[in-house]
Amino acid sequence: MWKGTAKTKKGANMIYLDNAATTQVRSEVIEAMLPFLDKKYGNASSLHSLGQEAKTALEESRAKIADMLEAEPDEIIFCSCATEANNFALKGLAFEAKKQGKDHLIVSKIEHHCVLHTAEWLESLGFRVTYLPVDEYGVVKLAELEEAINEKTFLVSVMYANNEIGTIEPIKEIAKICEEKDVAFHSDAVQAFGKIPLDLKKVDMLSLSAHKIYGPKGVGLLMKRKHLRIQPLLHGGGHEFGLRSGTENVAGIVGFAKAMELALKEMPRESKRQARMRDKLIKHALQIPESRLNGHPKKRLPNNANFSFRYAEGESIVMKLNEHGIAASTGSACSSPKLEPSHVLLALGLAPSEAHGSLRLTLGRYNRMEEIDYVCKVLPEVIEELREISPFWHKKS
Amino acid sequence: MWKGTAKTKKGANMIYLDNAATTQVRSEVIEAMLPFLDKKYGNASSLHSLGQEAKTALEESRAKIADMLEAEPDEIIFCSCATEANNFALKGLAFEAKKQGKDHLIVSKIEHHCVLHTAEWLESLGFRVTYLPVDEYGVVKLAELEEAINEKTFLVSVMYANNEIGTIEPIKEIAKICEEKDVAFHSDAVQAFGKIPLDLKKVDMLSLSAHKIYGPKGVGLLMKRKHLRIQPLLHGGGHEFGLRSGTENVAGIVGFAKAMELALKEMPRESKRQARMRDKLIKHALQIPESRLNGHPKKRLPNNANFSFRYAEGESIVMKLNEHGIAASTGSACSSPKLEPSHVLLALGLAPSEAHGSLRLTLGRYNRMEEIDYVCKVLPEVIEELREISPFWHKKS
Amino acid sequence: MYSEKVLEHFRKPSNMGKIKNASGIGKVGNIVCGDVMWLYIKVGENSKGEEVIKDIKWQTFGCVAALATSSVVSELAKGMTIENALELSNEKIVKELNGLPPVKIHCSLLAVDALHEAIYDYLEKHNRPIPEKLAKKHERIQKELKEIEKRYKDFLELEKRLEK
Amino acid sequence: MYSEKVLEHFRKPSNMGKIKNASGIGKVGNIVCGDVMWLYIKVGENSKGEEVIKDIKWQTFGCVAALATSSVVSELAKGMTIENALELSNEKIVKELNGLPPVKIHCSLLAVDALHEAIYDYLEKHNRPIPEKLAKKHERIQKELKEIEKRYKDFLELEKRLEK
Ligand SMILES: Cc1ncc(COP(=O)(O)O)c(C=O)c1O
Ligand SMILES: Cc1ncc(COP(=O)(O)O)c(C=O)c1O
């Protein structure tokens, strides 16, 4: 049963360094949500007082969030997750653009799978897609973007910051190019919100997910400018301005608004604090032989460190760390582990032994420097152990 | 803050007779969910222990639910709501069927808007749709169904029980026809599950929503037989057997499984208890002059009563009842109130004055007979009051 | 969704009922649309000798907004000169109610229409000249009614069947 | 996703390492796929005079499943006659580990392949007749390797660049 508001929370006594995969819901958020699971359970579409109470909470959350994103309330469309928001943005605009004779979209090669696979599905329906390359640090190549846009292009989608390597993209510049060429610009800001200040003035659509910022799983949103017409992905009762049907998850949305509010409030302090831990991790990890830092050395999220350790396989590193009570990840925590190396690392031009030997450590508000010290001690041992078993390492030494 | 497990819960001191719109989350469900918001917050796709703990909870919930639906675990696909499940079922099969040269689907005229508007959207893409008529009680006409199926038909979608008028459809017979004609059969069982026993042996796809059965908002599922290939609606990381991407809402899913389990356990007792209250409501309401019961007199959900009171407008009835502390609804609680009368009542062949004067009272596990007695007293007064203001009533008397 | 002001009028509507031997009656809306208003006026003279709406009553079948706008229109119009009553606009009504949900704006239109139709009826019955604007409005209202009756013919047939 | 048995082998793998002057070496997998196994066997005679795998060691670069299957294959094969070792199947390995996640089944294949390749190497080096089934398997493994090297040529080039 819910026991209240510890300031420092921990699950299963682990050192949790997988905050890009998901985060622990904050106590304040759980407390904000509970009344809407319990006593205030009305359907926001119902006319009676219980319904109107839910409606009011929903609209207050929407207004708060709109404020934080420098948008209008009717530009905030709640949905179930960032995967849905990204599918919605791309497909919703694609089906609308088709009517205007446009059939080309541009996405970066290092987008999250929910953008990439949506783009591929649109390709299967006859749309054309340009997969924009990135440089060795994962930064989108602006000149190639400019070249790729043509008169059939209806959308450019580039994430604000990458979930695996933490690289921050030149969103302002991309938005400017899109504005000049009169193409809509969508950005997946799931990993960026609450970690770095966002400049959204020229962003036409933006995706966010609550569970990445200490909110609950199962809630996301698409910010979509009013001037942009898109088709719904979920048809039905006409909720969310007719753009996303389905009974609103009021508790989740209230929690989302709370989580966003707190994330922004703590951002100045937390991003500095986490960057210090990140830098320590980087410093120590790079002392391990044949290691490299993936992503941009400077333009990176304050909470992301991503390494390649040649001849130590990623999954095995993660599982060894797990044995030491450290929760980490190899690349993204998407669906169940697949066989291919990360498409993001491949796009950076990593060699096979590097791409397969990657480790992502992502910090959060509950991490402490002592934990990082411990990780810095354990990590070299783990890498060493795995290399001991590897045929390649022995070959070298 | 969460205070625990009252057996009889109430929100805002209302008599809540809008249980078809949404329900209060059960205490047992909140308690089952809380650990997965708080300590057990892992991403079910993460390799480390916290992730695997979430994964285990997810798969245990899936297995339990599969059992309850006489399905295999990999036939249960979790999603965000029944609206999504219905969109997914129809669109997912449509895009797949198109590849096989099939382009025709059949839905009943009284489906929920999320089925109807999805069908309309598919029409806009070139699919053909038959909207199957119903008789005066809302029962689908089987002979017309049989006639409507042709060699291009890939899907029949008929709800298990209607959300407005509570009529239970002849699912077994429909499923048999579909089987004979080798057409897939989908049923929206959102209102039926937990109220009546379901016969799912020949149902190929089934939609459910947690918040209608004392579970949380923001969770639903599609049961889909393995033999049936459908395309994802949400592309991405490949969660849910590659059919529904997006980080799983573990807390919600665990709560869903718990809510389903409890609903089935209590069904024999609750359906009888609620039917008694329903019958009392019906008996008293029909004593009001110029009233009628909408839906089937016998084949109806134990918790549904739907009336038309000529010359008393639906929204006003609901708001008058609200003033008396009774939460009710006029038709479905979908999106914000619209101007058209309910498509369901129109399909039954109701006249304008009846279609506009409808009231839906839907019972739930927290209702008590004393509440119903009070409603039986208040309702005639409210109808009388509104008729007093109405021009038609005076004309008559 | 409704302002407290709307709900107050809904709870305690003013001037509802019927005027026997009314000077004019305005009947607007249609049962197929779910909102019908009948508005009765009694015209008399004020102390300055101007023609004013001495009394006003209404009967409405409709939603909360329809009832509330009926009530507020009757309050506003009561005592007004015919001239001023013809200037009453739906913006004024909406403002008086502290706003209405977008889907309900049409209800405020209906209430003003009912008032103006009642004035039209009064002027016509007494063979008085009808201001051009009002004549046009009357024409529009009647045309819309015809169109609705034509469009929803089948639906209205069902209603007739019930009346038997 | 992994059974406790798999994790046990992962935590404490048996027989890892290298045999100097091995009777046969099997090298399977490729760095582009993320799993590489080198398996060494020492062949000797048992008390009955049969040819058996006296000693076995392995070096593996790969995921948890790759390491666990290497370990379990080495445990099972140790002491086996060559004949029996050739009968070892990946089903047996998977069963021994109380199952593997579907996406990881290929790892069990890889471990058995490594063992059989080591036996092939031993038989070939000693000019011994090679059973037809084994010869076919060797051919398949080598062909697959070539195909992967061809398909991922560019990717392997990157690796070579690193070696410099
Ligand atoms: C950049 C990015 N976009 C989208 C998503 C998808 O979020 P969700 O799983 O909540 O749908 C994630 C997280 O998995 C992400 O990191
Ligand atoms: C029969 C039926 N189908 C689908 C839905 C949609 O459910 P949700 O709002 O959870 O998406 C509802 C409820 O609104 C319903 O009653």
CA of A159, closest atom in ligand 1: 1
The answer to whether residue D151 neighbours chain A at the CB level (below 8 Å) is: no
pLDDT (tens digit per residue) in A66-76: 999 999 999 99
| CA B74 – CA B90 distance, rounded (Å) | 19
In CATH, the architecture of A27-261 is: 3-Layer(aba) Sandwich (3.40)
Token digits for C69? 């706008």
Give the Å distance between the CA of A299 and the centre of ligand 1: 20
Please state whether beta strands D24-30 and D35-45 pair in parallel, antiparallel, or not at all (unpaired). antiparallel
User: Does any ligand 2 atom lie closer than 6 A to the CB of residue B71?
Assistant: no
Say which of A235, A250, A322 has its CB closest to residue B121: A235
Instruction: Please say if the pLDDT value at position A4 is more than 90.
Output: no
- Dig out the tokens for A69 from the structure: 């994103």
Q: Do A352 and D60 touch (CB under 8 A)?
A: no
Tens-place pLDDT, residues B49-93: 999 999 999 999 999 999 999 999 999 999 999 999 999 999 999
List, for residues B271-282, the tens digit of each pLDDT value.
Answer: 999 999 999 999
Interface check for C72 against chain B (CB to CB < 8 A): the answer is: no
| pLDDT at res. A334 | 43
**Mean pLDDT across A169-189:** 98
B195-244: per-residue pLDDT in tens? Answer: 999 999 999 999 999 999 999 999 999 999 999 999 999 999 999 999 99
Calculate how close chain B gets to D64, using CA atoms only, in Å: 11
Residue A339: its pLDDT value, please? Answer: 59
Distance B185 CA to ligand 2 centre (A): 18
SS3 C163: helix
B389 and C67 in contact (C-beta within 8 Å)? Answer: yes
- The two structure tokens encoding residue A74: 């009717």
The larger pLDDT score, comparing residue A7 to residue D153, is at D153
Give residue B207 CA to ligand 2 midpoint distance, Å.
9
- What pLDDT was estimated at residue A328? 97
What residue spans in chain B does CATH classification 3.40.640.10 cover?
27-261
Q: What is the ipTM for the molecules in this complex?
A: 0.94
- Burial environment of residue B187 by CB neighbours within 10 A (0 to 12, 13 to 18, 19 or more): buried
Q: Classify residue A10 by its DSSP letter.
A: -
Residue C63 among the catalytic residues: no
A80, A88, A163, A196: residue to mutate for ligand 1 pocket, most atoms within 8 A of CB: A163
pLDDT surpasses 70 at B389? yes
Q: What is the mean pLDDT of residues A249-263?
A: 98
Q: Tell me, yes or no, whether chains B and C touch by having 3 or more C-beta pairs under 8 A.
A: yes
Cβ(A378)–Cβ(A322) below 8 Å: no
Flag whether pLDDT at A351 surpasses 70.
yes
Give mean pLDDT, residues A316-330. 96
Give the residue carrying structure tokens 């309050």: C75
- Could you say which residues from 326 to 385 on chain B have a Cβ atom under 8 Å away from some Cβ of chain D? none
Q: Looking at the predicted structure, is the pLDDT value of residue A3 above 60?
A: no
Among A83, A160, A168, A206, which residue has the most ligand 1 atoms within 8 Å of its CB, making it the best to mutate? A83
Is the CB of B329 inside a 6 Å radius of any atom of ligand 2? no
The residue among C58, C63, C152, C159 with the most chain B CBs within 10 A of its CB, best to mutate, is C63
Q: Is D7 on the interface with B (CB under 8 A)?
A: no
Residue-level pLDDT at A394: 58
Could you tell me which of A71, A379, A88 has the C-alpha nearest to residue B236? A88
pLDDT over 90 (residue B393): no
Chain D contact for B55 (CB, 8 A cutoff): yes
Q: With a 6 A CB cut-off, is A159 part of the ligand 1 pocket?
A: yes
**Nearest ligand, CA A89:** 1
**Would you tell me how many other CB atoms lie within 10 Å of the CB of residue A336?**
18
- Mean pLDDT score of chain B, rounded to an integer? 94
pLDDT band at B339 (very low <50, low <70, confident <90, very high): low
Smallest Cα distance from A180 to chain B, Å: 30
Q: Is A235 on the interface with B (CB under 8 A)?
A: yes
Nearest to B80 among A2, A37, A80 (CB): A80
The two three-digit tokens of residue C116, written as one number: 């103006």
pTM for this structure? 0.95
Residue of B196, B208, B209 to test ligand 2 pocket, by largest number of atoms within 8 Å of CB? B209
Instruction: State the average pLDDT for chain A.
Output: 94
Sequence-separated (6 or more) residues with CB below 8 Å from residue B209: A247, B81, B82, B85, B190, B219, B220
Q: Do residues A315 and A328 lie in contact, with contact meaning Cβ atoms separated by under 8 Å? A: no
> What is the pLDDT at residue B10?
54
Q: How much is the pLDDT for B340?
A: 72
| pLDDT above 80: residue B9 | no
**pLDDT of chain D, 164 residues: tens digit per residue:** 899 999 999 999 999 999 999 999 999 998 888 899 999 999 999 999 999 999 999 999 999 999 999 999 999 999 999 999 999 999 999 999 999 988 888 888 899 999 999 999 999 999 999 999 999 999 999 999 999 899 889 888 998 888 87
Q: What is the pLDDT of residue A12?
A: 53
- What's the mean pLDDT in A337-343? 70
Where are chain C's structural domains? 4-163
B3 pLDDT more than 80: no
Please check whether the domain covering C4-163 is classified as CATH 3.90.1010.10: yes
| pLDDT tens profile A63-118 | 999 999 999 999 999 999 999 999 999 999 999 999 999 999 999 999 999 999 99
**Which residues in D lie closer than 8 A to residue A314 (C-beta atoms)?**
63
Half-sphere exposure of B52 (CA within 13 A, CB side): 16
CATH architecture of A15-25+267-396: Alpha-Beta Complex (3.90)
**pLDDT reported for residue C103:** 83
CA of D121 to the centre of ligand 1 (A): 48
Chain B contact for A174 (CB, 8 A cutoff) = no
pLDDT score of B336: 40
Q: Which chain A residues are Cβ-neighbours of C1 within 8 angstroms?
A: 47, 52, 55
What is the number of other CB atoms lying within 10 angstroms of the CB of residue B333?
25
- pLDDT number for residue B31: 98
Work out the angle at residue B71's Cα, subtended by the Cα atoms of residues B224 and B79, and round it to the nearest 5 degrees.
45
Name the β-bridge partners of B186. Answer: B157, B205
Taking the CA atoms of C11, C15, C20 and C24 in sequence, report the sign of the dihedral they define: negative
